[in-house]
Amino acid sequence: MIAKVFLLGLLVASSCASPLTSTINYAEAFEMMVEAFKKMAPNGCASDGIPVLDPLTNEFSTFNYTRGETSIVGNASNIRISGLSNVIVLNAEYDPSTHHVNFDILFPEIQILGSTIMEGVFNVLGFSIPTKQNTLLNERLEQLRIVLEYTFAQSLIYPNGLRIDDVKQHFYIGEVRIDNWDTLWSISGNNFYDRMSSDMIAFLAKQIQPSMDKLTAEYIVAPLNDMLSAINMTQLTTFYVDTAKSWSSENCNASA
Residue 34 lies in a domain: yes
Residue 251 lies in a domain: no
Residue 67 lies in a domain: yes
Q: How many domains is the chain partitioned into structurally?
A: 1
Task: For 100, list phi and psi in degrees, rounded to 5.
Answer: -90, 140
Residue 200 lies in a domain: yes
Residue 75: CATH number of its domain: 3.15.10
Residue 220 lies in a domain: yes
pLDDT digit string (tens) for 197-215?
999 999 999 999 999 999 9
Residue 250 lies in a domain: no
Residue 117 lies in a domain: yes
pLDDT digit string (tens) for 107-157?
999 999 999 999 999 887 778 888 899 999 999 999 999 999 999 999 999
Q: Any idea of the CA torsion for 37, 42, 48, 50, to the nearest 10 degrees?
A: 110
Containing structural domain, residue 227: 2-13+22-243
| Model confidence, pTM | 0.85
Residue 248 lies in a domain: no
